[in-house]
Amino acid sequence: WGKQDSRVPKQRLLVVANRLPVSAIRKSEDSWALEISVGGLVSALLGINEFEARWIGWAGVNVPDEIGQRSLTEALAEKRCIPVFLDEEIVHQYYNGYCNNILWPLFHYLGLPQEDRLATTRSFQSQFAAYKEANQMFADVVNEHYRDGDVVWCHDYHLMFLPKCLKEHNNKMKVGWFLHTPFPSSEIHRTLPSRSELLRSVLAADLVGTLKDLQYYELECQRVHSYSGAQGTPDGVEDQGKLTRVAAAFPIGIDSERFVRALELPQVKDHIKELKERFAGRKVMLGVDRLDMIKGIPQKILAFEKFLEENPIWRDKVVLVQIAVPTRTDVPEYQKLSSQVHEIVGRINGRFGSLTADRSLDFHALCALYAVTDVALVTSLRDGMNLVSYEFVACQASKKGVLILSEFAGAAQSLGAGAILVNPWNVTEVAASIGYALTMPADEREKRHRHNFTHVTTHTSQEWAETFVSELNDTVVEAQLRTRQ
């Protein structure tokens, strides 16, 4: 990730995220295959090359033995990645439990788990303890690799405790923290038993950034902390004499060039040709999502079914390709969702045969699919930015297809003028939007695409990272000046 030019001295950046940009698969005692990880954070951070960057995180695999840990560390070093080794029990309690069964649904407005509330309440303490323990393990690896002057950039809801661990060890460390998910309104957030401790830990950072929902975040910091004397100031939040800048939201982007370049590769062109033959005579609609309840896959498929029911002439003229990448498969909610989606897909295919569902695609196949798509459906029930919408737009320079986009994805703020915005819960509205998108005149498609393409190619991940890191550097300098006064 992030090609480096060694001729120019660059600032060292330690990116710390739960998941490394590559996931490891063990081939033998000491050999490993590395695959690019799936997800928005990886898609954004892969484009950063203005820094001398290292990525610290979990490789998605349990490696209990010394030979395995040593050989994986070496294999990852070639990619400038540094592993944090988490054992099965920690992964179960921290990642499956606290991160993905508690924080994830809460931050996406689904509330605390609905079923078996008492069991959740009982396991809450042990999961939170594991969360803190895991965050300390990340901190230990950062401390081991940190050099004076480095910028340490912590990412996401998995690592809210990390800024505190880092600052307690070395108060001079420049620490930023960035949230890639929505931040919920207070009425939701305040149900979290550990709300105060977590927010206070984040505020140990020098700079906090969000994609959106900044107002909720600020208000919640002030509300939670007002009990203990913390105050909102025009510059940020002040807690026990320590000022954390809560900066304006930083909208994330992708490395759009990577997609544009891929479309010129012979293998991608061949793939495009094959897809065009396969779908000849039919319009192609596309969904690309991790198989996650926030993505609204069942609702999307039901809207497609409704569209076909109401518009028989389209039944053999359109196909929906839904890529649903399995994710967090050990969490029961995700297992339930997977069976639900399979059931609906089977039923609709029994009726119309117009749906193909797939588990995953490699990068080149994905670019080809984006390029032949007429209508992309990004209908998350609640989402961070949703960079799939950006990837689709980047690959549409020749086709100028239509983007149907949820108003609850962060991208609605940036691509809303070019997309058709929908409420994903409203199946009737989404079905009608499908009809509108499929019959949209070419000049309107062109105009909408131009708006989105300009945004995606100018607001890149590179720009996002540079802005955040430069604000972090400035914040630290300002804080030093303030303490000298």
The β-bridge partners of 14 are 54, 152
41 touching ligand F6P, by CB under 6 A: yes
Cα–Cα distance for residue pair 415/393, rounded to 1 Å: 10
Among all chains, which residue has been given the structure tokens 């193909």?
A: 356
Q: How many residues bind ligand F6P (CB under 6 A)?
A: 10
- DSSP one-letter string for 462-476: HHHHHHHHHHHHHHH
CB of 326 to ligand F6P, least distance (A): 10
**Identified binder of ligand F6P from the candidate list 11, 143, 196, 327, rule CB under 6 A:** 327
| Residue with smaller CB distance to ligand F6P, 156 or 206 | 156
CB of 425 to ligand F6P, least distance (A): 21
Phi and psi angles of residue 12, each rounded to the nearest 5 degrees, phi first:
-80, 135
**Identified binder of ligand F6P from the candidate list 200, 271, 328, 382, rule CB under 6 A:** 328
Separation of first and last alpha carbons in the chain: 42
Question: Which residue, among 199, 178, 200, 175, has the nearest Cα to 189 in the 3D structure?
Answer: 199
CB closest to ligand F6P, residue no = 39
181 touching ligand F6P, by CB under 6 A: yes
| Residue with smaller CB distance to ligand F6P, 173 or 381 | 381
Phi and psi angles of residue 193, each rounded to the nearest 5 degrees, phi first:
-55, -35
Contact 293, 107 (CB under 8 A): no
| Residue with smaller CB distance to ligand F6P, 164 or 180 | 180
384 touching ligand F6P, by CB under 6 A: yes
**Identified binder of ligand F6P from the candidate list 54, 132, 164, 180, rule CB under 6 A:** 180
Sheet strands (E) in 187-241: 207-210, 231-233, 236-239
Q: Which amino acid is at 59?
A: A
68 touching ligand F6P, by CB under 6 A: no
Contact set for ligand F6P, span 142-161 (CB under 6 A): 156
40 touching ligand F6P, by CB under 6 A: yes
CB of 95 to ligand F6P, least distance (A): 7
Cα–Cα distance for residue pair 386/382, rounded to 1 Å: 10
Of 33-41, 66-74, 245-253, 405-413, which segment contacts ligand F6P by CB under 6 A? 33-41
CA distances from 174 to 121, 130, 146, 480 (A): 36, 26, 11, 12
Contact 474, 247 (CB under 8 A): no
39 touching ligand F6P, by CB under 6 A: yes
Specify whether the backbone of 394 is left (phi greater than 0), alpha (psi in -120 to 50) or beta: alpha
| Residue with smaller CB distance to ligand F6P, 40 or 176 | 40
| Residue with smaller CB distance to ligand F6P, 19 or 300 | 19
| Residue with smaller CB distance to ligand F6P, 91 or 151 | 91
Applying CB under 6 A, the residues found at the interface with ligand F6P are 19, 39-41, 156, 180-181, 327-328, 384
